[in-house]
Amino acid sequence: DCDLRKPSIHRHLGMDTSAGLLEYLASGATGATLASILTIDQASGAHVVVGARRSGVATDQLVTGTAFADLVQSARESFEVVILDTPPLGPVVDGLYLVQHADCVVFVVRWADTSQSEAKGAINALREVMPPETVVLAVLNQQNRDQLSYRYSYYDYYTEG
């Protein structure tokens, strides 16, 4: 959970935490290891570094520092897939710093809530700072089926079965 300003992964997974990524980074990570901050989600078996509380200070130095880079490198060496859940791009810049560590970006927009100009601006900002080989995938989230197009209402007609 790399949203140091408003962590929420622990709530979504139903985890109680006393310490998380913020505390790890704020401590300078002296002597701490990746294993010391991992929590295992019982439902999925995923190993998770959660956020425990909101940061009261600017977070840009925390996610651009060597402690964070070392943590990501350690995660890459230990796991096949590493997911960095970031805050939204519009209100804060943290995601633009975090994209430096990404092989792929999953850009999620909320149906009928995120304007096209906001989405376009965020994608342009990402493209300016992400490594050239990074792939961007777009996901439309919380789509209201009642407002979908005419073609979607005939989905069963066009599918086999």
CA dist 135 → 15, 57, 99, 154 (Å): 31, 31, 11, 32
- Taking only the tens place, the pLDDT of each residue in 57-77 is 788 888 898 889 989 999 999
Q: Report the half-sphere exposure of 45 (CA within 13 A, side-chain side).
A: 1
**Lookup: tokens for 57:** 């200070």
DSSP 97-138: HHGGG-SEEEEEEETTTS-HHHHHHHHHHHHHHS-TT-EEEE
The pLDDT assigned to 101 comes to 93
- Look over the chain and give the mean of its residue pLDDT values, rounded to a whole number: 83
- Taking only the tens place, the pLDDT of each residue in 74-96 is 999 999 999 999 988 878 889 99
Please give the Cα distance from 5 to 154 (Å, whole number).
Answer: 43
Q: How confident is the model at residue 53 (pLDDT cuts 50, 70, 90)?
A: confident
